[in-house]
Amino acid sequence: MGLSAPADPDHRPLPDLIDTFERAAIAAGQAIMAARAAGASVSFKSDMTPVTQADKAAEAIILARLTEQFPGVPVVAEEMAEDGKCPTCTEASYFLVDALDGTGDFIAGRNEFTVNVALIRDLKPVAGVVYAPALGRIWSGAGLKAHSGAVDELGEIRDRREIRTRALPKTPVALVSLSHREPETEAWLDLLPPHKTTHIGSSLKFCLVAEGKADVYPRLVCLHQWDIAAGDAVLRAAGGVTLDLDGVPLEYGVDNADFGCGRFVCWGRHPDLPKARRRG
């Protein structure tokens, strides 16, 4: 009988860890699409943001998979936090999960929503998967390698390829939120050289920068760490960086019981634009 894989994610080979994340994300995505077909009901959380049956069903699937594979490793997830059930993460490693990022896009019938699973180790997102079930696309990143692929109707990943960020072109592409127009972000973008701006929802922005289809993504309003951890892991593995407004790499789980995160800017390549980077 062969030895079973260790339960500690820090000792699991990165390809095995990514496979676990991908399987969980795809199963959650299937539940989301089934809920969409059935007409998921909408309610509102304490902060008046929407939540659906799809959010809860998808999160339950991911939590079950992670706790089965990694018993005892803390998991911080969006709907769990809303219910006041988040663990206190004093460990060096834990999981961050946003089972349905872009609930507003999901409710509106748009396809730019994602499933997000990440491992945080020593304050950094070291492995992550982002899955867009309505688009049939998946992205993963761990260590120094990131990949994208297509997911077929059976939930199998096809056409997997390695992705890298691109050098900043003469006319860079900046990504901003599809549903949240922020004056602070618009003012920050005014400091960039001539550029194109594209509006897109959810953590897809990280993925487009990671695969060299865009160059910068500023977010100058506070989010939660589960919103960005998986996309940030993909971006970093593809050669990108996520910096705070002082130009310091963003850290996770730092003196922050509610797992909020400050303002940040994602770059495909480390920038030499200090004025723009430090705009606050």
Q: Are strands 241-243 and 264-267 parallel, antiparallel or unpaired?
A: antiparallel
pLDDT at residue 279, rounded to an integer = 40
Go through the domains of the chain in sequence order and give each one's CATH number: 9-163 (3.30.540.10), 173-277 (3.40.190.80)
Q: Are strands 196-200 and 223-224 parallel, antiparallel or unpaired?
A: unpaired
Strands (E), 29-108: 42-44, 50-52, 75-77, 93-101
pLDDT in tens, 105-134: 999 999 999 999 999 999 999 999 999 999
Q: Are strands 157-163 and 145-151 parallel, antiparallel or unpaired?
A: antiparallel
Cβ–Cβ < 8 Å for 242, 230: no
273 is in an annotated binding site: no
Count of other CB atoms within 10 angstroms of residue 38: 10
Angle at 212 between CA 210 and CA 217, to 5 degrees: 60
82 is in an annotated binding site: no
Q: Which two tokens stand for residue 41?
A: 């009901």
What is the pTM (predicted TM-score) of this model? Answer: 0.91
pLDDT in tens, 34-85: 999 998 888 887 777 888 889 999 999 999 999 999 998 999 998 887 777 7
Q: Which of 176, 181, 21, 204 is nearest to 101 (CA)?
A: 204
102 is in an annotated binding site: yes
pLDDT in tens, 193-217: 899 999 999 999 999 999 999 999 9
pLDDT in tens, 155-203: 999 999 999 999 999 999 999 987 666 788 888 999 888 999 999 999 9
Q: Which of 174, 242, 266 is nearest to 214 (CA)?
A: 174
- In the DSSP assignment, the letter for residue 258 is T
Compute the Cα dihedral for 154, 33, 105, 242 and give only its sign: negative
103 is in an annotated binding site: yes
101 is in an annotated binding site: yes
98 is in an annotated binding site: yes
242 is in an annotated binding site: no
pLDDT > 90 in the chain, percent = 67
Per this entry, what is the length of the chain? 280
- In the DSSP assignment, the letter for residue 67 is H
Count of other CB atoms within 10 angstroms of residue 246: 9
For residue 109, the Cα-to-chain-centroid distance in whole angstroms is 20
pLDDT at residue 147, rounded to an integer = 99
Cα separations in angstroms, 80 against 38, 47, 228, 279: 24, 14, 17, 34
